[in-house]
Amino acid sequence: SGKQSLTRFAAYVSEMKCFQVELTKGYGIGEFREDLKKLFFMTGCDGDPVVFLFADTQIVVESFVEDINNILNSGEVPNIFANDEWEKILRDVRPHCKAAGIAETKDNIKAHFVHRVRENLHIVLAMSPVGSAFRVRCRMFPSLINCCTTDWYDKWPAEALQSVSHQFFSPLELGEHRDTILPGLCDMASAIHSSVGAMAERFYAEQKRRFYVTPKSFLELIALYLGALDEKRAEMDVGISRLSIGTKKLNETNEMVQNMQEELAALQPELEKKSAETNVLIEQVTKDSQAAAEKKAKVAVEEAAVKKTAEEVQAQADEAQADLDAAMPALAAAVDALKSLNKNDITEIKGFKSPPPLVMKVMEAVCILLGAKPDWDSAKKVLGDTQFLQKLMDYDKDNIAPAAIKKILAYYDDPEFQPEVVAKVSKAATSLCMWVRAMKVYDEVAKVVEPKRQALASSTAMLEAEKAKLKKVQDELSAVIANVEQLQKTCDEAVAEKQRLEEAADTTSKRLVRAGKLTGGLADEGVRWTATVGELNIERVNLIGNVFLSAAFIAYLGFFTAPYRKLLVDDWIEQCREMQIPTSDSYSLVRSMGEPVKIREWNIWGLPVDEYSTENGILATKGKRWPLAIDPQGQANKWIRAMEQRNSSRSVKGNDATILRTLENAIRMGTPVVLEDVGEELDPSLEPVLQKQIFKQGGRSLIRVGDSDVDYNEAFRFYMTTKLPNPHYLPEVCIKVTLINFTVTLEGLEDQLLGLVVREERPDLERTKNDLVVSLAADKKQLQELEDKILRLLSASEGNILDDEVLIDTLSDSKVTSGVIQGRVKEAEETEAQINETRLGYKPAATRGSILYFTIADLGNIGEMYQFSLDYFNELFLVCIQKSDKSPELDARLSNIMEYASLTIYNNVSRGLFGEHKITFSFMMATAIMRQRGDISDVEWALFLMGAGIVDEATLPARPAHAEPDQWTLICTISQRVEALHEFARSYGASPAEWQALTDAEQPWGALLPATFAGLSSWHRLLVMKCFRPEKLIECVGEFIAVEMGRAYIEQLPLDLHVVFPDAQPHTPLVFVLSAGADPMSTIIRYATDVDYLKRMHAISLGQGQGPIAAQLIKDACASGDWIVLQNCHLAKSWMPKLEKIVESFSGNASIHPSFRLWLTSMPAKYFPVPVLQASVKMTFEPPKGLRANMIQSYLADPISDPEFFDRCQKQPQWRRMLFGLCFLHAWLQERRKYGPLGWNIPYEFNESDLRISVRQLQMFLDSYDETPLAALNYLTAECNYGGRVTDDKDRRTLVTAVLNIYCPQILEDGYRLSASGMYVVPTDALDSHEATVEYIRQWPPVAKPEVFGLHENADITKDLGEVDLMLKTMLLTQAQSGGGGGGGGGGG
């Protein structure tokens, strides 16, 4: 209702911090007090104003509330701080005391700390008033009332609902009728919320299932609607767009076909003309090309000759150049040396008066080359020339006089005339030496090169002449080629034009072919698409209402069963029409939100095929909150596991210690988690996951799980399932999850059982059916994908679609494939229809099985220990199919299956029921079968169970004097409502004497009815019995069952472990459900002895501290193959979850020894694990009902049933007579209890142990004394064995008297009467053997008369009426309270 949201908002407005505890796995009082310390430090030390928001869902242990109570009362929690923490507080608060002028003593500081806490701390407790917890806490912790302001949050009024919805719905695009639709949506949102609240109350009244409607559901409705409407509109817009484009493309193609045909006709003449012109051009080009080729060949020859000459000239030039290149390095070196000389160097040489010999030689050589005299004076003159160096550099080396060269040779060959040698004398002389030597080398080379140069010049001149000649020829060739190229260009253009025309014609032809493919292949699709677009446009408008109803369905209706869902949805549709909200005429959630292909996959994965289950599948996948499936039969769990198996789903139990670690990994990896077997309360540490408290941090999506932040993967899915058949989830749970009632439906189970029957009877048929389902699902999925592909390609195509050959071929192939698949689908659907028709022949057996299961399932409403799983039932039903008599005739075979299954299931189930419920179960079976056949109407059934109800007696005929008021009201009501008895009231009113025989009969069922009613059916006869003899109704019900079903359904077979034990497996516990005072240990021990297993049987009585010992015993026995007996499981409530885990670990555990068995005994207890009950072989152990049955039970029980003990007594005649009397006394004492205060003032729990000790004492005293000590036996039996339980003095007197009538001398006489009428006597011959005695007792009547117990006959009336009332009330627990009411039937007779 918004308590926490408003608190946070108020804290924000008030600029206060909002503090909440964060629950983690294992969070307890220690962690809670640490959080309180943080709170105290914030408010007391730091002085921060804080709101402490604490919700009742965070109360892990009640001591939390005690601490809150202390804070409210005094502002502190006693002894919460350790000494070191107080030191910190004293240090931090001391400055505040000083500032406030308070003396800084230790006590003052502590008091000021508490004062600051009370000033700054504001506590808000968010409590739910639902259930008893809040009331109990208010009584236990008075500060919750005295120190708090109670702010009671009522339901949101209609105005608030409308206001909120208007706020969210206003931005919606609602079309042209917005002014009408928007107010209608707001009113509908409010109306839906209110109608679901009313239906929840009705649901509880009729089905005893509690569901809470909260504003959270209303907000989810709005959020779902806004999100789903946008999503569906976008989805539909894409579909409409694709279909429209596809239709448009097809229409455009059809229009283009005529134009293309005309185009093609016009192109033909032009194409022929252009072809002729092109051919002429091609001929001319060919002729000119040949001439050009000849010319080109001639030029090529000349080019080759010129090329050869050029190569020879080039070779000569290269040779001359090579010779020159040999002299060039020395010349270059000499020039570089000259360049390095400067004026000072020349002056240096010139300055020699008497030059060194080498310098003189150098200068002489220089003078010779320059044409001067080779002496020092001439040398000095030469050196004195300012242009000396320049002359050397510019020296005409190509024209040196031969005489000069000849003179130079003398110097050149001189060993000392080397630059390296001269360098030792003068740098300048060295350079001049190098120059002289270079000139000599160059002159030698020039003499060789010159002839070559001249030859080269001649060759070059000849080459130029040849080139000129060649150029002329080439120019002529170029002109020819240019002419040819021009012709070729013209020709190419003509050819290109021709090709263009040909391509245009070809393109048009291909377009026509493709158009034929497109329009021909998709013509039928085009018609369908056009129609579909129209339908989708209408549906798009209807989305406003359809999606709204779907959102409401998902937000509110998961918890309801199919009939209630239908009532609400029909009402909503009618209101939508009244408010002019667009909706489809045949709205359903499956059509609106379901995807056929996906639903088919769900069915393959195990989701039942009925519409209710499909709705549940949509609820589980479309809801905003994580789903919690109420799944007593485990079908949702199997479906979810199969569906999510491909996503690597993980399964954990509700009591696993590793839940948070599993969740962390799954959230991080994006894998689904299935949390199984949750209880009525969810672990508080799951809160962040359930509330999807995702937050952003640094661009990452995180969620806090336990005490760590985990990266949130959007692929994560969380499912919860519970096996509780009728859980009561408080509003705090309802707002966090989407509750989905996955209880199996009659239709869904019928289909499953039909598959089971057909699989056994016609395995080929069922195999074909299953294969068809899979192939049909795959084919329809592929069809959908192909259609989507065709439409996607059409809508994505650009330009002229007929030019896209790949697209057309793809569309054509897709259409062909689609056609093949459609043919296959059609054929498969026809085959499926034939198979279904054949399968339906076996439907009666499946229907019977379904009826039987729901009858068994209803037993859970009667007793918490009557839990039977669907898997158990399916296995049992399969065994019945296999073991029932075969027959070639289908009708006979079905009859055999139904009869065998009914009786076998009755026997297996009834042994786990208490005696008082066995006939109720038989009757429920019989009437359920008849109601299904139509033999009993709902009106007749209600009349039988609830009587006439509230009837205006003024409208009834006048009551005859002989009729009781209630009786007459019932008779008249039956006459009005039951066609077969419409004369009933008139007949009884006019002729009461005709009904006297029925009224007086001791056994009314066989009494004659008036002739008019002689042909009544057994059911209508039972209605008559209810009117006249209500006290005999149970007896009549038994006769009715015998007529309709057979005597076997009213006989209570004694418990025989030799019959029961083979039904148990190593993984299947055997559970004894006990009544007060019953102890099955002797029966178990006797059976263990019979099968020689007593030494390997270990028994332990559960209680304080025995759990771990029992767990170790089971573990050891699983390996060794021993038997373990856990007694009194009801005394170990806290250990029951551990027992559940142990039993669940048996399933699929191949290491368990095949001989291992686990025996459990327990009184009925709500906390006994349901999965253990469902997986077990159940037996009730109680005192038998009836004097005869009690006597037989005593003789078949230990120790009397032991032949050695029975025959051991030395005084056999006395022993057997007195034993018979003692067993009769035991039965007499127990049966007397059924008369209530008439029998015993206080109901005592006499049990077998009382009889056992009395029997042993009787044998001991008879063997020990010659004279039978009757007084001692009387005292021990009346005062000790049985009398030890008796507290009322009148009851004690009755007991003593009864014992005296047994332990008396007369019992040893023949024909001793045990009752005044002589009906019950101590036999003579029948005592010869144990078997004879038992057979004699079997001859007694099943029901003893009151005279046996010393009571008046009318005592039976009171007792019988009480039993009848109890039976009818018990049966009403299994029925929906849809009508009738009031009294239980007519008056006396």
Cα–Cα distance between 246 and 787 in angstroms, integer?
A: 11
Is the confidence at residue 1227, as pLDDT, over 70?
Answer: yes
Residue type, 239: G
DSSP string across 546-577:
HHHHHHHHHHHGGGS-HHHHHHHHHHHHHHHH
Is the confidence at residue 261, as pLDDT, over 70?
Answer: no
Question: Of 1154, 634, 908, nearest to 1146 (Cα)?
Answer: 1154
Is the confidence at residue 937, as pLDDT, over 50?
Answer: yes
Residue type, 207: Q
Residue 672 pLDDT: 94
Is the confidence at residue 535, as pLDDT, over 60?
Answer: yes
Most confident of 446-450, 516-520, 746-750: 746-750
3-state SS track over 52-64: EEEEHHHCCCCHH
DSSP string across 661-692:
HHHHHHHHHT--EEEES--SS--GGGHHHHTT
The mean pLDDT value of the chain amounts to 84
- For 362-393, what is each residue's pLDDT tens digit? 888 888 888 888 888 888 888 877 777 887 88
Question: Of 796, 790, 673, 687, nearest to 736 (Cα)?
Answer: 687
Cα–Cα distance between 1043 and 1020 in angstroms, integer?
A: 13
Residue 1296 pLDDT: 93
**Within its chain, how far is the Cα of 1324 from the centroid?**
71
Percentage of the chain beyond pLDDT 70 is 89
Contact 614, 594 (CB under 8 A): yes
Residue 320 pLDDT: 62
Residue 519 pLDDT: 62
Residue 552 pLDDT: 93
Contact 1130, 1165 (CB under 8 A): yes
Is the confidence at residue 1386, as pLDDT, over 50?
Answer: no
Is the confidence at residue 949, as pLDDT, over 70?
Answer: yes
- For 8-32, what is each residue's pLDDT tens digit? 999 999 999 999 888 777 788 888 8
Contact 829, 776 (CB under 8 A): yes
Contact 400, 320 (CB under 8 A): no
The mean per-residue pLDDT over the stretch 580-595 comes to 87
Between residues 791 and 688, the one the model is more confident about: 688
Most confident of 585-589, 902-906, 958-962: 902-906
Residue 389 pLDDT: 80
Backbone φ and ψ of 710, nearest 5°? -120, 140
Between residues 404 and 1019, the one the model is more confident about: 1019
Is the confidence at residue 1387, as pLDDT, over 60?
Answer: no
Instruction: Quickly state the pLDDT bin for 1385 (edges 50, 70, 90).
Output: very low
What stretch of H or E contains 1224? Answer: helix 1212-1231
Q: Which two tokens mark 76?
A: 């502190």
Contact 1018, 993 (CB under 8 A): no
Residue 1378 pLDDT: 37
1313: phi > 0 → left, psi -120 to 50 → alpha, else beta; which? beta
Q: Which long-range contacts (CB under 8 A, 24 or more apart) does 10-15 make?
A: 10/51, 11/51, 11/53, 14/49, 14/51, 15/49
- For 663-722, what is each residue's pLDDT tens digit? 999 999 999 999 988 888 888 888 889 988 898 888 889 998 877 889 999 999 999 999
Instruction: Quickly state the pLDDT bin for 1380 (edges 50, 70, 90).
Output: very low
Q: Which two tokens mark 1089?
A: 């002895």
Q: What is the dihedral of CA 823, 824, 826, 828, to 10 degrees?
A: 160
Model pTM score: 0.70
Is the confidence at residue 344, as pLDDT, over 80?
Answer: no
Residue 504 pLDDT: 66
Residue 342 pLDDT: 66
Instruction: Quickly state the pLDDT bin for 104 (edges 50, 70, 90).
Output: confident
Residue 804 pLDDT: 63
Cα–Cα distance between 341 and 426 in angstroms, integer?
A: 11
- For 1134-1169, what is each residue's pLDDT tens digit? 898 889 889 988 887 888 999 999 999 999 998 898
The mean per-residue pLDDT over the stretch 729-752 comes to 87
Q: Which two tokens mark 1092?
A: 């020689």
The mean per-residue pLDDT over the stretch 532-560 comes to 87
- For 1180-1226, what is each residue's pLDDT tens digit? 887 777 888 889 888 888 888 888 888 888 888 889 999 999 999 99
Cα–Cα distance between 621 and 594 in angstroms, integer?
A: 10
Q: Which two tokens mark 393?
A: 């550099």
Instruction: Quickly state the pLDDT bin for 1114 (edges 50, 70, 90).
Output: very high
Residue 263 pLDDT: 67
Backbone φ and ψ of 1008, nearest 5°? -75, 140
SS3 435: helix
Q: Using alpha carbons only, how large is the chain's radius of gyration in Å?
A: 57
Most confident of 290-294, 650-654, 805-809: 650-654
Residue 405 pLDDT: 81
Instruction: Quickly state the pLDDT bin for 1388 (edges 50, 70, 90).
Output: very low
Q: What is the dihedral of CA 283, 284, 286, 290, to 10 degrees?
A: 140
Most confident of 832-836, 1250-1254, 1382-1386: 1250-1254
Residue 271 pLDDT: 66
Say which range, 194-198, 777-781, 899-903, has the weakest mean pLDDT: 777-781
3-state helix, strand, coil in the chain (%, to 5): 70, 5, 25
Cα–Cα distance between 257 and 511 in angstroms, integer?
A: 8
Say which range, 48-62, 492-506, 1092-1106, has the weakest mean pLDDT: 492-506
Cα–Cα distance between 1191 and 1339 in angstroms, integer?
A: 12
Residue 1055 pLDDT: 80
Residue type, 1266: D
Say which range, 369-373, 389-393, 554-558, 796-800, has the weakest mean pLDDT: 796-800
Cα–Cα distance between 432 and 440 in angstroms, integer?
A: 13
Residue 1379 pLDDT: 35
Q: Which two tokens mark 389?
A: 């160096």
The mean per-residue pLDDT over the stretch 895-913 comes to 91
Cα–Cα distance between 403 and 409 in angstroms, integer?
A: 10
Is the confidence at residue 773, as pLDDT, over 50?
Answer: yes
Percentage of the chain beyond pLDDT 90 is 22
Diameter of the chain measured on Cα atoms = 194
Residues in the chain, how many?
Answer: 1389
Tell me which DSSP letter residue 1011 carries. Answer: G
Between residues 1375 and 59, the one the model is more confident about: 59
- For 1240-1296, what is each residue's pLDDT tens digit? 899 888 888 888 999 999 999 998 888 888 999 999 999 999 988 899 999 999 999
Cα–Cα distance between 1277 and 1070 in angstroms, integer?
A: 34
Cα–Cα distance between 1356 and 1031 in angstroms, integer?
A: 8
To which residue do tokens 């259409």 refer?
A: 815
- For 49-93, what is each residue's pLDDT tens digit? 999 999 888 888 888 899 999 988 888 888 888 888 888 888 888
What is the dihedral sign for C-alpha 970, 971, 975, 978?
A: positive
